[in-house]
Structure 1
Amino acid sequence: MFKIDTITFMAALGAFQGMFFAVLLWLRKKQSTSNRIFSVLLLVTSIRIAKNIVVHGRMLNPDLPMSVEVWRFLVNFGISHQFAIGPLFMLYFLSVIQPRFQFRKVYLWHFLPYGVLTLLSWGLPWPFWRDGGLLFSYSHILFYYLWAFRLYYQGYTQLRKSLETTLTKATLKWLRSLIVICGLLMIAYFPSLFKYVGYIVGAIMYAIGVYVISVIVLRGQQEVGRPKRKYQSSNLSADKAHQLKLKLEEYMHSEQPYLDPDLTLGKLAQMLATTSHELSQVINESFGQSYAEYINGHRLQMAQNLLTDLNHRDTKIASIAYDCGFNSISSFNTLFKKHTQLTPSQYKAQHRVK
């Protein structure tokens, strides 16, 4: 009689849940590329976890009839999927962090080891894995894990320094959670730790992670990690958006329209011979800011320059605020402190050139 303990049963449910959720996520209408990648990542990881459940089940049922060829195939097929997890993990991070990400054919080269080993699943002998194959598979995942962490750190730096980014704190929190979950799974599966945590613990940890992810997404979140794009129905092409961005930057540098305290989105769009909607989209997606944040950012940068300029050493702070396009001293002081963590007076004293 086939025997299965509670832990193995829970792990099996987790693997099945992962496969089911991967298919469900893929079949949702109008999915983003990042969600497609995430669904495939869930699927291949679930297949890899299922291999551990099969092995553990065989340990509980040593008399279960199974030919050597079938057993070899199941083990090889399961382990080979480990070589797809790393590239998919990295590409998911890239698709979330990089604006207007598109999957390119060159990315398929990352899956070459996975493709070759999957095709060889019927014939690979166990010594291949025992004598270095398993260690290489873990090193392979670790390499892409560190690559994904580097992408996360770049996104974190961009958001912290208010550079051009469409990321949000919620998105980075989601990615950080995935980094932690993946890190714990790698620790649980690393061969040298098996004797401490047991062979099936990693599968249980994965099952818990899948349940948590399923609840988060199925409660109504449209995107896994990245919020729904505000302008996804826009007809503005990537090339036209890039040209408008360059035109905007050049105009802001040469004409300094932000010095006008009455400047509006409509006025600036008219100056650039475009529509308010297209200009707003370019500012939102290229700089990760609203129109007001973008304009005030330029005003604040000019104010910082004037506060440390020897030629304006005796100029009153209020005069500098008005000269930079602000029409309210209180709003200038509030925005300046939020941007620099210092009041204008403190900033001037701290950066004064003697």
Structure 2
Amino acid sequence: MMIERGLVLVLSCLGMAQALFLSFYLFTLKKGNKNANTFLAFVLLGLTIRIAKSVLNYYMFLDPLYRNLGLSGIFISGPFLLFYGAVLLQKNKVFSKLNYLHLLPFLIFVLCSGIIPEMKDYESYLSYGLVVLHLGVYLILCWRFIFVIRNRANKDLVRWYRTIVIGVCCIWCFYFSNFIGFIPFYIGGAIFYSFLIYGFSYILLKRHVFSLEKYRNSSIDIDASKRLLSHIKDVFENEQIFMETNISLAKVAEKLSINSRELSQVINENEQMNFSEFVNHFRIKRAKLLLASSEYKNEKMTTIAYDCGFGNVTSFNLAFKLETKMTPSAYKKQVNLI
């Protein structure tokens, strides 16, 4: 029994420590969207305060005042989660200070935490129910915002924000289930939070979300970006400029009468590719046609590579396998068997 309790304590503390580290990192991060980083830090901090209350209450008796202060973290997480989505997904969004009125319930709850009942009676369950309801309402508002903004914002950023909202929803569902008596294992929320935090950390390391915000101050909105992408694709397909072995971002931007940064932004935001990957995509598309063509049946791979714009067969093989998960030779055999 002591070993189990010790293991639970370690798992719970690991998550809280990692969450505090991420919060500190976000508070002090200077690159990217500073407001978004700060708001996400407050989301994590609020949840960590709430989880810390669960852990401490599981291992020792807490005065009702401290239990209520721990619950107050939830009143931070909901509003800041909504704020985070607003400034992350809306370009050039000016955050109004009036939005901080959403934090009034937090201030009221903290000021009244010494008199709010915490004795497992009807009044106590009612106050705890309001805390759970508060976060639930903000989660609904977050999902509504995602639904409204999903077609007008960067897809990767929408996916990232949705992942965070899903994670907070899971925590809410656990504590709501505990509140209604469906899940009796109270400390389980802290353990789940640990796995959730390390999952977020892994995603941040694997695909750094802050790099997706580098075009935040661009004057090109999402609709203009999509129109420009359509024009870029028309030029690539009709003029086949991807066939030039010395093609470059600067040359294509000059041809389209835009600057290199705008060209890079349009491709990155809409196709989730860099310029080199975008060019290779068109080259490989042509390569597939040549590999399936009877006219190229007896041609060497070197010839096909050159006729698609690649400078050598090695780069052709690498790019082809990266996109299709098979070598050009394997693809040729496959299409010839059909």
Distance 2:131 2:304 in 1: 65
What's the offset of the Cα at 1:44? 2.5
Counterpart pick for 1:39 among 41, 46, 52: 41
Letter paired with 2:321 = K
What's the offset of the Cα at 1:295? 0.8
In structure 2, the partner of 1:260 is: 244
Distance 1:179 1:324 in 2: 43
1:1-46 CA distance string (max 9 Å, x none): xxxxx999x9899979967974774365455243122112023324
Q: Secondary structure at the match of 1:279?
A: helix
Q: TM-score, normalised by structure 2?
A: 0.58
Q: Secondary structure at the match of 2:326?
A: coil
Whether the 8 Å CA contact 1:48–1:82 is kept in 2: the answer is: yes
Mark the CA change 1:44 to 1:339 in structure 2 (over 3 Å): closer, same or farther.
Answer: same
2:201 matches 1:226: no
Whether the 8 Å CA contact 1:89–1:144 is kept in 2: the answer is: no
Q: Secondary structure at the match of 1:60?
A: coil
Letter paired with 2:323 = H
Distance 2:245 2:55 in 1: 66
Counterpart pick for 2:255 among 271, 286, 304: 271
In structure 1, the partner of 2:3 is: none
Q: Secondary structure at the match of 1:326?
A: coil
Letter paired with 1:270 = E
In structure 2, the partner of 1:299 is: 283
Mark the CA change 1:277 to 1:208 in structure 2 (over 3 Å): closer, same or farther.
Answer: closer
1:69-108 CA distance string (max 9 Å, x none): xx6x974x76575366357557757977x6x7565779x9
In structure 1, the partner of 2:185 is: 196
Whether the 8 Å CA contact 1:181–1:209 is kept in 2: the answer is: no
Whether the 8 Å CA contact 1:261–1:326 is kept in 2: the answer is: yes
2:53 matches 1:26: no
2:219 matches 1:237: yes
1:166-200 CA distance string (max 9 Å, x none): 68xxx97x9979977985786477414664355xx
Letter paired with 1:128 = L
Letter paired with 2:209 = R
Q: 1:206-217 to 2 correspondence within 5 Å? A: none
Letter paired with 2:219 = S
Counterpart pick for 1:248 among 232, 238, 258: 232
What's the offset of the Cα at 1:292? 2.0
In structure 1, the partner of 2:120 is: none
Aligned identity (percent) is 26
1:143-184 CA distance string (max 9 Å, x none): 68999999xxx9xxxxxxxxx9668xxx97x99799779857
The alignment of Structure 1 onto Structure 2 pairs a total of residues equal to 304
Q: Secondary structure at the match of 1:238?
A: coil
Structure 2, unaligned runs of 5 or more: 1-5, 117-122
Mark the CA change 1:302 to 1:148 in structure 2 (over 3 Å): closer, same or farther.
Answer: farther
RMSD (CA atoms): 5.8
In structure 2, the partner of 1:48 is: 50
